[in-house]
Amino acid sequence: MTDAPLLQVENLAVEFRSGGAWHRAVRGVDLAVHRNETLAVVGESGSGKSVTALAAMGLVPKETGRIVEGSRIRLEGRDLVGLSERELDRVRGDRMAMIFQEPMTALNPTMTVGAQVSETLRAHRGLGAEAARREALRVLELVKVPSAARRLADYPHQFSGGMRQRVMIAMALACQPAVLLADEPTTALDVTIQAQVLALLEDLKREYGLAVLFITHNLGVVALIADRVAVMYAGEIVETGTAAALFDSPRHPYTEALLRSMPRVDRDIGALEPIQGNVPSIREIGAGCAFAPRCPHAQDRCRAERPTLADDGAGRGVRCWVRGLA
């Protein structure tokens, strides 16, 4: 891929304070998402996926969290780290938008859906009331909300879970962002509705050339939507590559273990093997490889020294002393 990435995260580190000390939840993440590309970020719960996306949106809670100096978050070339809240407000929902697992975190229960989508358009696009209403109708039709004209007057609770998810996607896409961050947006939906929402996101990506950062713990979803994959563990990316490369020839023992632990919609299920042990909390990450305590291949070096990411220069990277790229 030769074009410049629309979103480029470099050396991102995020810390939270607890018990009087700062602990690192994201530890030097690099990733890039290009136009018309879906990068899936995958890993067990607690790996740092959501914190990575929230940091990109400038939404790390100020009282207890901080982005560590030296982190870079470039949106269409412009570094967002250190921007004021006011400047971030202008970017959020405009050039970059985020959708969540629970639509009610994004939707206001006391406002009609039409009013909410219109308000976003009026704030960012400076549209008048009537133009905003027309545009709101257009985006609700775009995300295939049936009888959209009538449903503009409905409140979020009057929509089903799948339809609420479409409304949230409509809100996110209303201002035609370049980058969409999606954090487990289909996890709460049943399988059929999930497939419909994924297909919709795929269509929208292609039609608008969106750069999509798609967070999921579900490898079946990854197989359906990802162009490239970043596997995250304990705040680090431990393996990256095309979806095909990771599924066909995983290198990192964590990627292998994930593949063996999860059902896949795209192939026969062998015996599933749960990964023994737990993702470490941010307070208990030691000096060596964070996966070493759960890793069947771990050696002395793994317990003593943090692995570097070996990179083939063509988008494949592995952070492992034992199974790294030769």
Q: Note whether 57 and 75 are within 8 A (CB).
A: no
Regarding beta strands 211-216 and 179-183, do their DSSP bridges make them parallel or antiparallel, or are they unpaired? Answer: parallel
Residue 16 near which of Mg ion, ligand ADP, none (CB within 5-8 Å, type-dependent): ligand ADP
What is the footprint of Mg ion within residues 200-219 (CB under 5 A)? Answer: none
Contact string (CB under 6 A) for ligand ADP, positions 245-284, x = contact: ------------------------------------xx--
Q: Note whether 194 and 220 are within 8 A (CB).
A: no
SS3 12: strand
In sequence order, the 6+-apart residues with CB closer than 8 A to the CB of 129 are: 118, 122
**In the bound complex, what is the minimum distance in angstroms from residue 44's beta carbon to ligand ADP?**
7
Is residue 65 within the footprint of ligand ADP (CB under 6 A)?
Answer: yes
Is residue 61 within the footprint of ligand ADP (CB under 6 A)?
Answer: yes
Max alpha carbon distance in the chain (Å)?
A: 67
Is residue 47 within the footprint of Mg ion (CB under 5 A)?
Answer: no
Residue 51 near which of Mg ion, ligand ADP, none (CB within 5-8 Å, type-dependent): ligand ADP
**In the bound complex, what is the minimum distance in angstroms from residue 257's beta carbon to ligand ADP?**
16
SS3 233: strand
CB closer to Mg ion out of 198 and 320:
198
What is the footprint of Mg ion within residues 267-326 (CB under 5 A)? Answer: none
Site size toward Mg ion (CB under 5 A) is: 1
Question: Residue 15: in which H helix or E strand, if any?
Answer: strand 7-18
Is residue 210 within the footprint of ligand ADP (CB under 6 A)?
Answer: no
Among 64, 105, 108, 278, binds ligand ADP (CB under 6 A): 64
CB closer to ligand ADP out of 13 and 137:
13
**Segment interacting with ligand ADP (CB under 6 A) among 60-68, 201-209, 242-250, 299-307:** 60-68
The DSSP-derived string for 196-212 is HHHHHHHHHHHHHT-EE
**In the bound complex, what is the minimum distance in angstroms from residue 228's beta carbon to Mg ion?**
19
Q: Note whether 321 and 307 are within 8 A (CB).
A: yes
Measure the CA–CA gap between 198 and 233, rounded to whole angstroms. Answer: 24
Site size toward ligand ADP (CB under 6 A) is: 16
**Segment interacting with ligand ADP (CB under 6 A) among 59-67, 87-95, 102-110, 166-174:** 59-67
CB closer to ligand ADP out of 174 and 282:
282
Measure the CA–CA gap between 121 and 94, rounded to whole angstroms. Answer: 9
CA distances from 130 to 126, 175, 177, 320 (A): 12, 16, 22, 57
Which residue minimizes CB distance to Mg ion?
50
Q: What are phi and psi of 201, to 5 degrees?
A: -60, -40
Residue 3: CB atoms within 10 Å? 9
Contact string (CB under 6 A) for ligand ADP, positions 10-49, x = contact: ------x-x------x-----------------x-xxxxx
SS3 279: coil
Measure the CA–CA gap between 102 and 128, rounded to whole angstroms. Answer: 30
**In the bound complex, what is the minimum distance in angstroms from residue 137's beta carbon to ligand ADP?**
34
Cα 21–chain centre separation: 27
Residue 241: CB atoms within 10 Å? 23
Is residue 50 within the footprint of Mg ion (CB under 5 A)?
Answer: yes
| Residues linked to residue 92 through DSSP beta bridges, in sequence order | 96
Residue 220 near which of ligand ADP, Mg ion, none (CB within 5-8 Å, type-dependent): none
CB closer to Mg ion out of 50 and 71:
50
In the complex, which residues of this chain contact Mg ion (CB under 5 A)? Answer: 50
In the complex, which residues of this chain contact ligand ADP (CB under 6 A)? Answer: 16, 18, 25, 43, 45-51, 61, 64-65, 281-282
